Structure 1
Amino acid sequence: MDNVLFSKKSAVTELSAISEWWLKNTLDHQHGGFVGQVDFWGNIVEGERKGIVQNSRILWFYSESAMFSGKDDDKNAADRAFEYLISYFDDIENGGAFWEVSSTGELVNGKKQTYGQSFCIYAFCAYYRLTGNKLAVEKSMEYFELIEKYARDKKCGGYVEAYTQTWQPIDDFRLSDKDLNAPKSMNTHLHVLEAYSALYAVKPEAKIKEALAHVIDVFNDFIIDKSTNHLKLFFDMQWQDISKTVSYGHDIEASWLLWEAVEILGDSNKLAYFKPIIISLAETCLNEAIGEHGQVCDEYEIASQKRHEESYWWVQAEALVGFLNVYYLTGEARYIKACNDIWVFINNHHIDAKAGEWHWLSNMDNNQGSCIYKAGFWKAPYHNGRAMMEVAKLFDLIKGE
């Protein structure tokens, strides 16, 4: 596998494999939609709860992959995902999406994470582009208005992490147990950014343009540390940095998502301003984050100055897109070399050649011992599937020059 070639063909082949694995292994034929979890070995975990992050990401992926591939199976999966999300996650009474339901669809946790609402907007826009379904675009606008009404900080800028089911203040802002309990985070703003980019692309209205420009400015003013070319991760309400780590995966993911957002916004001044910033984010990641096997390492602890060498599937997927995007912007060969090294690493250490899909952790990071699920609350065909589509599109642009 060591000589595997990173190319549009290899990306499209892997995209097809990802799509087929999820179709084969995750359809919930008993309760509708998709199962809550498939374990490390590819077995469905009965009774596992279903989360909005996984389900919205599945809707996004199959909407996009259906447009990319033209396959009926992908379109049918997108229809299935949309129907389930609207039926079980959409809060008819209070608006927005619930965080979690049971395996049979009963409400478990109704909190409103801005992160989760954003992923729904992202997914609804993709489904609307695929189908023209009016409910999809109506819901995307409804969720946008809710975020702007409740989550946007009119005083200090940006967006607050979370609210109760009825959009009241909440004490625990965290997305997951590993996150700091902070009212604002880079991660949520990154996904507001991608959601608003997608929404503005399908509905180029003034209020959406203003909101997209706002979140881009938030990255520039508060999140990007221009002295280090890293992203700050957690903040108090006044944007004081309380981060304890640097996330290399988010640095490189943000580089290309920010570039995409500024392109969609269509502001030539912002494009000129952000281009060197985008390149610097990727360049710093390349200089600081590459492990001995060519992988992008996970994170860096600020206090101890320790780099964590572990390889997570999503980090490698986003690095492919981020580095290829900067190769497209600069033509510098070291970025395409980094992509090829990462692609070799993915094939050798993340893709499960026997059972299919990508391991959460590489097989060099005690994956057999940790046995993290193949599909679950935080793992959908979003990072790796999106990367394959974005890479294919970038190769077309590079070839077309």
Structure 2
Amino acid sequence: MIQSATTSKLQIYKAEAQEELVRMLDFWMKHALDEKNGGFVGKMDRHLSIDKKAPKGSVLHARILWTFSAAFRHTNNPAYLEIAHRAYTYLLKRFYDTEYGGIYWAVDTKGKPLHTRKQSYALAFAIYGLSEYYRATAKPEALQTCQVLFYWLEKYSFDPAFGGYFDALSREGELLEDLRLSEKDRNDPKTLNTHLPMLEAYANLYRIWPDKQVAQQLEALLETFLHHIVDTHTGHMQLFFTADWTATTRLVSHGHDIETSWVLQQAAEVLGNEELIEKTKATAVAMARITAKAIQPDGSLYHTYDEETGLSDTHRVWWVSAEAMVGFMNAYQLTEEEHFLDNSWDAWQFAKKYLLDKEKGEWLWGVDNTYTVIETEDKISFWKSPHPSARMCIEIVNRCQRVLAEAQYRS
């Protein structure tokens, strides 16, 4: 039986997360639509100045598609469904390669193909967004496109020798020499950053299409995480790999650690494999415990920690706080240990104080170690989307409701 103070905290948490979901989605509906060229603007700085010549990213559009499809399913607000329709139409019209299959990385501001490389990361987010759109609409074409993209990934990106998926391919499906998602990344053939959205995409796909091959590859992805990506010595997620799964760095990403903890468990539950469910629950709690050790006194997490140099990137980035809220809440649900709820709650308090842009809307990219806003990062970009914070809001609302309902049932 939970204490009255905990009940009160959960009720407040739930209400504030729901309020924040509406607030941030209002921002995207008001500011992100590109009324001249279609789709959504490709780049907007934190002062709401739009770069009208900026290219448009497939990942941004796929994340918007997922966000507003999920928000419609959560609220039944028809305005959210209209935005989802817009994202769906533009994604298929401008990013889908009708000649070679797959999803372009980027188009120009007019919607013409600009970077035709096929990043597995982008295809995964396309499946993730399209499958959520299908859950919202039951539109057959959305499922059919998911299936086509799934087969494309399995044909060109899947590695039959060592398992997992290669990061980047040419328009025609040939493995590229430069596999990086961005200039900041290492040029390694396999990464956590690609396999995590692959896991989410295949789990969401399995929800709408319980196909035998999807189940097989989803199970293989889960095993890949448990045997290769999770470092059994340190408990952290490893980030970059050779083709045969030799880790190439000792960089710790606190946000990816806590995000993977709950996403891994969720995927196992979707698959319904009891053995993997128990393994991933244990991993989720272990990852939450080790991540909790990195929490700063203000409730935040640093961006990264380099185990080789002992140096941290002390930036506090918006998506890291969002994932901390969900991951620690998940650990609380699994263990009923109050400190995990406190960790989640404290991450929200930090976000409210430093990351929510109360003047202009949405979330800031982040702040530095002196809590100064990082001016060089945008409000909307290839990498800045509504997905992490909107997903957090939906997860927190649903999880708080579940805990409260279970407590009431027990009493």
Normalising by structure 2, what TM-score? 0.94
2:325 maps to which residue?
320
Q: Distance in 2 between matches of 1:304 and 1:112?
A: 34
1:86 maps to which residue?
92
Deviates more, 1:211-220 or 1:67-76: 67-76
Give the alignment of 1:103-122 within 5 angstroms.
103-122=109-128
Q: Give the superposition deviation at 1:293.
A: 1.2
3-state DSSP class of the match of 2:53? coil
Q: Give the superposition deviation at 1:326.
A: 0.6
3-state DSSP class of the match of 2:97? coil
8 Å contact 1:49–1:103 — kept in the other structure?
Answer: yes
Q: Distance in 2 between matches of 1:352 and 1:4?
A: 24
Q: Give the superposition deviation at 1:294.
A: 1.1
Which of 352, 375, 381 is matched with 1:370 structurally? 375
8 Å contact 1:310–1:365 — kept in the other structure?
Answer: no
Question: Are 2:31 and 1:25 equivalent residues in the alignment?
Answer: yes
3-state DSSP class of the match of 1:246? strand
Q: Distance in 1 between matches of 2:264 and 2:291?
A: 15
Question: Are 2:172 and 1:172 equivalent residues in the alignment?
Answer: no
Paired residue type of 1:347: K
Which of 267, 288, 291 is matched with 1:285 structurally? 291
1:384 maps to which residue?
389
* Residue-by-residue CA offset, 1:363-395 (whole Å, 9 max, x unaligned): 755654634111111011000010000111111
8 Å contact 1:11–1:391 — kept in the other structure?
Answer: yes
Paired residue type of 2:50: I
* Residue-by-residue CA offset, 1:196-222 (whole Å, 9 max, x unaligned): 000001111111100100000000110
3-state DSSP class of the match of 1:108? strand
2:277 maps to which residue?
271
Paired residue type of 2:21: L
8 Å contact 1:294–1:342 — kept in the other structure?
Answer: yes
3-state DSSP class of the match of 2:104? coil
Give the alignment of 1:91-106 within 5 angstroms.
91-106=97-112
2:57 maps to which residue?
51
RMSD: 1.5
* Residue-by-residue CA offset, 1:276-296 (whole Å, 9 max, x unaligned): 111001110001x21131101
2:306 maps to which residue?
301
Judged with a 3 Å threshold, the aligned counterparts in structure 2 of structure 1 residues 246 and 363 are, in CA distance, closer, same or farther, namely closer
1:342 maps to which residue?
347
8 Å contact 1:6–1:343 — kept in the other structure?
Answer: no
Q: Distance in 2 between matches of 1:46 and 1:367?
A: 27
Q: Distance in 1 between matches of 2:401 and 2:345?
A: 17
1:239 maps to which residue?
245
Which of 215, 219, 222 is matched with 1:213 structurally? 219
Paired residue type of 1:351: L
* Residue-by-residue CA offset, 1:286-326 (whole Å, 9 max, x unaligned): 01x21131101111112111233220000000110000011
1:251 maps to which residue?
257
Q: Distance in 2 between matches of 1:240 and 1:85?
A: 35
8 Å contact 2:11–2:400 — kept in the other structure?
Answer: no
Q: Give the superposition deviation at 1:46.
A: 1.3
Q: Distance in 2 between matches of 1:154 and 1:115?
A: 19
Q: Give the superposition deviation at 1:43.
A: 2.1
Q: Distance in 1 between matches of 2:319 and 2:217?
A: 27
3-state DSSP class of the match of 2:312? strand
Paired residue type of 2:41: V
Paired residue type of 1:54: L
Question: Are 2:74 and 1:68 equivalent residues in the alignment?
Answer: yes
Gaps in structure 1 of 5+ consecutive residues: none
Which of 397, 400, 405 is matched with 1:400 structurally? 405
Q: Give the superposition deviation at 1:244.
A: 3.8
Question: Identity percentage over the alignment?
Answer: 34
Judged with a 3 Å threshold, the aligned counterparts in structure 2 of structure 1 residues 365 and 107 are, in CA distance, closer, same or farther, namely farther
Q: Count how many residue pairs are aligned between Structure 1 and Structure 2.
A: 398
Paired residue type of 1:228: T
Q: Distance in 1 between matches of 2:315 and 2:297?
A: 11
Gaps in structure 2 of 5+ consecutive residues: 1-8, 407-411
Which of 197, 202, 209 is matched with 1:196 structurally? 202
Q: Distance in 2 between matches of 1:392 and 1:349?
A: 21
3-state DSSP class of the match of 2:367? coil
Moved over 2 A (4+): 3-6, 362-371
Which of 146, 157, 167 is matched with 1:151 structurally? 157
Judged with a 3 Å threshold, the aligned counterparts in structure 2 of structure 1 residues 6 and 110 are, in CA distance, closer, same or farther, namely farther
